[in-house]
Amino acid sequence: MEKKQLELRKNMICDLMREKDYVPMRERDLAVLLQVKSEDREAFKQALNELLSENRIQINRRGRYAQADEKHVVGKLTAHAKGFGFVEVEGQQEDLFVAAEGMNGAFHGDTVEAKILPGLRGKRTQAEIVRILERGTTRLVGTYESSRHYGFVIPDNDRFGTDIFIAGEHTKGAVDGHKVVVELTDYGNDRRRPEGKIVEIIGHRNDPGVDILSIVLGYDLPTEFSEKVINQAERAAKPVSDADCAGRKDLRGLKMVTIDGEDAKDLDDAVSLTREGANFQLGVHIADVSNYVQENSALDHEAKKRGTSVYLVDRVIPMLPHTLSNGICSLNAGEDRLALSCLMLLDKKGNLIDYEIAESVINVDRRMSYNGVAALLEEAGADQNKKNWEGGTQRKTDGMQENGAGGAQRESSEMQGSRGGGAPGRMPEDAELQIMLQDMAELSKILRQKRKKRGSIDFDFPESKIVLDRDGRPTEIKPYERNAATDMIEEFMLIANETVAQHFYWQELPFVYRTHENPDPEKIMQLGIFIRNYGYSLKVSREEIHPKEIQKLIAKIAGTPEETVISRLALRSMKQAKYTTECSGHFGLACKYYCHFTSPIRRYPDLQIHRIIKEALRGRLKEERISHYNEILPGVASECSRLERRADEAERATDKLKKAEYMSERIGKIYEGVISGVTGWGIYVELPNTVEGLVHVSKLPSDYFYYNEHSYELVGERSGQVYQLGQRIRVQVAGVDMTARTIDFEIPWEEE
């Protein structure tokens, strides 16, 4: 009856507002006009709120209600430091642009109701915010500045574009320069600033470690595990017993290795390889973390809340306690471990002939490092080249055929002799292990060539390796170098992820996939226009592009002066990969089926699908469990995507901070770099060590510069001087803003 009464009230309100003579009015005036009794006022207010949430009516800034004649949407606001923002609406591909004057008191992270603005033309649909439904920010980290009887906190997050007023009784004893956590008590309005109270003093901004800790707290990254979670992890971390091994595939006799960075402690993947004639039997063995982290346990809730391990410049914030991640779930050499194994039979062209996904028990033979394996492979390759050359010379002397079966047989016998007796230097004493590593290198090249042939895109932009001293000060910044071993493990993880995803797609079971949507057609069109200036083109069909076209372009520009500029623009045209329950394909990898299976220690989606895999293998995925996963997985996928973005942003923030600190000690130094970005306010220049800074347009040689957005150029009106993407340029370090984590460059005076 109550529900029926509510609907009657809602219809009555809508009927009134549809009348010609109706003018927007406040709640109390509506109640008087509709003769609402005092005891019915709460129900009347509920009816108004429901109509607002259904977008059937709207409320203006003066609190007056009217019929909703515009299209209203609900979404999450991402604010920009310059005052404008974007509203992300679920199920809508393109975000809505909100100009600064249309923000109407909303802040970064708020859930808002936005009104689509008609008749405005631009690159994006424009909107203005009409109502704030839920505040996304309740606490902020910033720097305290004191006044006589009060103070202000300047937020570290420049997306929160205003200072926060702190009354004298809420300063908690903070002094100038303290990094603090402030809790917002009032969000302010057009006439007054937001207000808050300090709830934690992190330390002075000049104290060691405070800078990184401020970022950790600013991104609300959980750093400590509760006692309950730690105790549960310790109870779960028992040595592998015979009972644990029952019913599992016993692979302890199979030779396998882990290959990771020298300082890695959470080893969650091992690899094995044997030959079956011309075919390869590749095994990718992943720690069975789900055996120790039960669904809905305290450990599981904590892992889900974190979503991913976060790798900051000076520390790792793990998804799971070290008792598990560095202990029983880490595939340490010489110790029995529980795993999920993906055993794949591949032919000499890298085609998948057969596979098996199984619960297993393994025992890793040796822990190896990327650099160590790369050195071994390089040494083995050098030895082989020398033998090939010597063998070829000998064959010529003996009058033997240089190529063909005879040459192949001789090469084979020499290789066998080398393997059997072992090689000098750094080569493993274990001949079987040596053979396996060389076979792995061979297979990884086959898989990479196959992946490239189908159109998979590889952008080769170097990541930063920042070296810190004991006090956390940066002493060296350089590109992180890839090698044959990192490429090899990457290929093996990719093929395992594809195989598992394809298997469960055809099983038609609920699952979490890793998807990457096709690029935005407009961005691809802009890229196509730009590359014509360099004589290149893209083949686009029905406003869609095949990843192979991007890959072919990357291959064509390799080694050319324009490689950097075009590669960057191609990357910027790509969308962000995410987790979904729909298997819609991965554009960047040019594959139909892909998931994250290989890192359950550090990624929650991997842990989640391990549970599904095990239930499927055990025949337990009945109707009830399928219904359970169908219900929870969309939320898991969405939240894990959000937490992944948070981790990425925090990692970038710490990198930018340490790069700024590093360059602050190099003011006045001159470097050669490449223009990595061009905007109306200046040019961004990246140095060979990956540090990027801005040459503001006011710091360019005297002239009026205008920005050509089609060619990504700044052009001097009088001088004709052109600054464009990819151009090599000398810059001088002019200054550093540690609060904004930015670096300012200028053109050396002798270059002006």
> Based on the domain organization, do 656 and 678 belong to the same domain?
no
Q: Could you tell me if 673 and 657 lie in one domain?
A: no
Nearest alpha carbon to residue 565 among 600, 610, 533:
533
Exposure string (b/e) for 567-600, b if CB count within 10 Å is 16 or more? Answer: bbbbeebbeebbbbbebebbbbbbbebbbbbbbb
Phi, psi (degrees; rounded to nearest 5) at 192? -145, 155
Give the pLDDT confidence score for residue 598 in this predicted structure.
97
Q: List the 269-276 sheet strands across, edge first.
A: 249-250, 352-363, 336-346, 279-287, 269-276, 257-260, 366-369
Cβ neighbours, 10 Å, residue 415? 17
- 69 or 159, higher pLDDT: 159
The more confident residue out of 14 and 298 is 298
- In this predicted structure, the answer to whether residue 294 has a pLDDT above a threshold of 50 is yes
- The answer to whether position 390 is within a domain reads no
| 301-335 pLDDT, tens digit each | 999 999 999 999 999 999 999 999 999 999 999 99
My answer on whether 611 and 694 are in the same domain is no
Helix H or strand E encompassing 715: strand 713-716
What does the pLDDT average to over 238-254? 95
Cβ atoms of 52 and 59 closer than 8 Å: yes
Q: Is residue 49 part of a domain?
A: yes
Residue with tokens 């079966």: 405
Closest CA to 611 of 232, 289, 269, 283: 289
> CA 148 to CA 164: how far, in whole Å?
16
CA distance 744 to 699: 10
C-alpha span between 625 and 633 (Å, rounded): 12
* Per-residue exposure over 328-351, b if at least 16 CB sit within 10 Å of its own CB, e if not: bbbbbeeebbbbbbbbbebeeebe
CATH no. for residue 83?
Answer: 1.10.10.10
Largest CA distance in the chain: 113
Confidence at 176, pLDDT banded by 50, 70, 90: very high
Highest-pLDDT range among 52-56, 58-62, 209-213, 480-484: 209-213
Q: Do 193 and 312 share a domain, yes or no? A: no
Q: 355-396, pLDDT tens digit by residue?
A: 999 999 999 999 999 999 998 888 876 566 545 444 443 333
Tokens of 412: 């084979």
Give the residue from 748, 749, 736, 745 showing the smallest Cα distance to 696. Answer: 745
546 and 656 inside one domain: yes
Q: How confident is the model at residue 664 (pLDDT cuts 50, 70, 90)?
A: very high
For residues 577 and 593, state if they share a domain.
yes
176, 207, 238: which is the final residue of a domain? Answer: 207
**CA 154 vs CA 194, 658, 711: distances in Å:** 11, 20, 38
More confident residue, 223 or 3: 223
Asked if 169 and 151 touch (Cβ cutoff 8 Å), the reply is no
How far, rounded to the nearest angstrom, does the alpha carbon of residue 211 sit from its chain's CA centroid?
Answer: 22
Question: Residue 544: which pLDDT band, with cuts at 50, 70 and 90?
Answer: confident
Residues 504 and 636 in one domain: yes
Mean pLDDT across the chain, nearest whole number? 87
Q: Which token pair is 490? A: 């990457």
Is the domain of 657 the same as that of 710?
no
**Angle ∠(711,715,716) on CA atoms, nearest 5:** 175
- CA-nearest of 379, 388, 329, 338 to 362 is 338
Tokens in use for 249?
């595939």
Instruction: Extract the tokens encoding 549.
Output: 């076209």
Give 615: exposed, middle or buried? Use CB within 10 Å, 0-12, 13-18, 19+: middle
Structural domain boundaries enclosing 575? 483-661
The pLDDT > 70 percentage for the chain reads 91
How far apart CA 182 and CA 185 sit, in angstroms, is 9
Pair 78, 177 in one domain: no
Amino acid letter, 507: Q
For residue range 562-598, what is the model confidence (pLDDT) as tens digits? 787 788 788 888 889 999 999 999 999 999 999 999 9
In a domain, 577, yes or no: yes
Is there a domain that residue 112 lies in?
Answer: yes
Q: How confident is the model at residue 475 (pLDDT cuts 50, 70, 90)?
A: very high
Tell me the pLDDT tens digit for each residue of 588-621.
999 999 999 999 999 999 999 999 999 999 999 9
Please identify which residue in the block is written with the tokens 């310790």.
234
Across the range 172-185, mean pLDDT stands at 94
Residues 277 and 351 grouped into a single domain: yes
Statement to judge: residues 487 and 603 lie in one domain? yes
Q: What are phi and psi of 243, to 5 degrees?
A: -65, -35
Which of 38-42, 95-99, 467-471, 708-712 has the lowest average pLDDT?
A: 708-712
CATH number at residue 718: 2.40.50.140
Tokens of 705: 């510069």
Tell me the CA distances in angstroms from 709 to 82, 669, 713, one per residue in order: 19, 31, 7
What pLDDT score does 418 carry? 31
Question: What are the E-state strand segments in 472-587?
Answer: 474-480, 513-515, 578-580
**Same-domain status, 654 and 737:** no
Give the residue from 310, 342, 370 where a domain finishes: 370
Residues contacting residue 38 through CB under 8 Å, at least 6 positions apart: none
Whole-number pLDDT of residue 69: 63
Tokens of 539: 């083949």
| 706-727 pLDDT per residue, tens | 888 777 788 888 888 889 888 8
What is the average per-residue pLDDT within 173-201?
A: 93
49-51-52 Cα angle (round to 5): 65
Each residue's pLDDT tens digit, 407-441: 332 223 222 223 233 333 344 557 888 899 999 99
pLDDT of residue 721: 87
Indicate the pLDDT class of residue 7, thresholds 50, 70 and 90: confident
Amino acid at 422: G
Cβ atoms 540, 586 nearer than 8 A: no
pTM: 0.81
Q: Does residue 455 lie in a domain region? A: no
Beta strands in 15-138 (DSSP E): 57-59, 65-67, 72-79, 85-88, 96-98, 111-116, 126-134
Most confident of 415-419, 459-463, 609-613, 748-752: 609-613
Q: Which two tokens stand for residue 461?
A: 């932009």
Please write the tens of the pLDDT for every residue from 492-517. 999 999 999 999 999 999 999 999 99
- Looking at the DSSP assignment, which residues form a beta bridge with residue 716? 705
What is the pLDDT at residue 271?
Answer: 98
Q: Quote the number of domains for the chain.
A: 5
Question: What's the confidence (pLDDT) of residue 715?
Answer: 87
Query: Given 638, 661, 684, which residue is the final one in a domain?
Result: 661
Residue 594, in any domain of the structure: yes
User: What would the two tokens of residue 201 be?
Assistant: 């003093």
Residue 5's region, left for phi above 0, alpha for psi from -120 to 50, else beta, is alpha
DSSP-H helix ranges across 331-430: 370-397, 405-421
CA dist list (Å): 642 to 135, 599, 601, 646: 17, 18, 18, 6
CA distance 99 to 581: 34
Decide if 224 is inside a domain: no
378 within domain boundaries: no
